[in-house]
A = this chain, B = another copy of it.
Amino acid sequence: MATHKLLLLPGDGIGPEVMGEVKRLIDWLNSAGIAKFETDTGLVGGAAYDAHKVSISEGDMAKAKDADAVIFGAVGGPKWDAVPYEVRPEAGLLRLRKDLSLFANLRPAVCYPALADASSLKREAVEGLDIVIVRELTGGVYFGEPKTITDLGNGQKRAIDTQVYDTYEIERIARVAFELAKKRKNKVTSMEKRNVMKSGVLWNEVVTQVHKREYADVTLEHQLADSGGMMLVKWPKQFDVIVTDNLFGDMLSDIAAMLTGSLGMLPSASLGEVDVKSKKCKALYEPVHGSAPDIAGKGLANPIAMISSFGMALRYSFDMGALADKLDQAIAAVLASGLRTADIKSEGTTAASTTQMGEAILKEL
| Residues of A participating in the B interface, judged by any CB pair closer than 8 Å | 76, 85, 88, 90, 94, 120-122, 125, 141-142, 144, 147-149, 152, 155-168, 193, 195-199, 201-203, 225-227, 229-230, 233-235, 247-248, 250-251, 254-255, 257-259, 263, 290
Is the pair A250, B159 in contact by a Cβ cutoff of 8 Å?
no
- Most chain B C-beta atoms within 10 Å of own C-beta, residue among A125, A203, A227, A229: A229
Q: In the complex, are the beta carbons of A160 and B156 less than 8 A apart?
A: no
A230 contacts B254, CB within 8 Å?
yes
Please indicate the chain B residues that have their CB under 8 angstroms from the CB of A250 in the complex: 193, 196, 226
Contact A199 B254, beta carbon cutoff 8 Å: no
Between A and B, 27 residue pairs with Cβ closer than 8 Å are: A76-B195, A90-B195, A90-B196, A120-B122, A120-B125, A121-B233, A141-B161, A141-B163, A141-B197, A148-B198, A152-B167, A155-B167, A156-B166, A157-B167, A157-B202, A158-B167, A159-B164, A159-B197, A159-B199, A159-B201, A160-B163, A160-B199, A226-B254, A229-B255, A230-B255, A233-B259, A248-B251
Q: Which of A152, A201, A247 has the largest number of chain B CB atoms within 10 A?
A: A247
Most buried by B among A159, A167, A225, A258: A159
Residues on B with beta carbons closer than 8 Å to the beta carbon of A166: 152, 156-159
Q: How many angstroms from the CA of A251 to the CA of B137 in the assembled complex? A: 19
Contact yes or no, A233 B251, CB < 8 A: no
Provide the bound-state CA to CA distance between A255 and B230, in Å: 5
Complex contacts, A193 vs chain B, CB 8 Å: 247, 250
Instruction: State the CA gap A235–B290 with chains docked (Å).
Output: 18
Residue in B122, B164, B248, B259 whose CB lies within 8 Å of A160? B164
Q: Which residues of B contact A233 (CB under 8 A)?
A: 120-121, 233, 255, 258-259
Q: Bound state CA distance, A158 and B234, in angstroms?
A: 34
- Nearest Cβ distance between residue A238 and chain B, in whole angstroms? 12
In the complex, what residues of B have CB within 8 A of residue A198's CB?
Answer: 85, 147-149, 159-161
Given contacts A121-B122, A159-B203, A233-B259, 9 further A-B contacts (CB under 8 A): A120-B235, A157-B166, A158-B166, A159-B166, A161-B197, A163-B163, A233-B255, A248-B251, A251-B251
Q: What CA separation (Å) do A158 and B345 show in the bound complex?
A: 48
Q: How far is the CA of A198 from the CA of B250 in the complex (A)?
A: 17
8 tightest A-B CB contacts, nearest first: A159-B202, A159-B199, A230-B258, A90-B195, A161-B163, A226-B254, A120-B125, A159-B198
Report yes or no: A85 in contact with B257, Cβ–Cβ below 8 A: no
Query: Is A158 a contact of B148 with CB atoms below 8 Å?
Result: no
Nearest B residue to A246 via CB reads B196
